[in-house]
Structure 1
């Protein structure tokens, strides 16, 4: 079992997820998945053992 799970949402709907033992790799994955897309993209990375949110992100709206 991996240490971390990253989830990406548009609004309230989960659209993608990924798991890894590498926190930085997951954060980079999240950022690259929403690059060039518009909408209310946001997400977080959770420690699977404690269910603690380790890192959050919210994409700025493109105009």
Structure 2
């Protein structure tokens, strides 16, 4: 007794041949820019830290007018 296999379906003719271009470009860019964004996001905390000279202007310690400080 032989097993009957269904015939494979034909590929749709209306599929766009360039439909994979945009996702491929986005994946390639995110593989490069994603880790760079994480790196710079992690370094942004060091840009706002308080290790600096103690003779900074008093205006930096003052609150904005109307702010609840």
User: Fold conserved (TM > 0.5)?
Assistant: no
- Which protein, 1 or 2, shows the higher relative CO under an 8 Å CA cutoff with sep ≥ 6? 1
Give the structure with the larger strand fraction.
Answer: 1
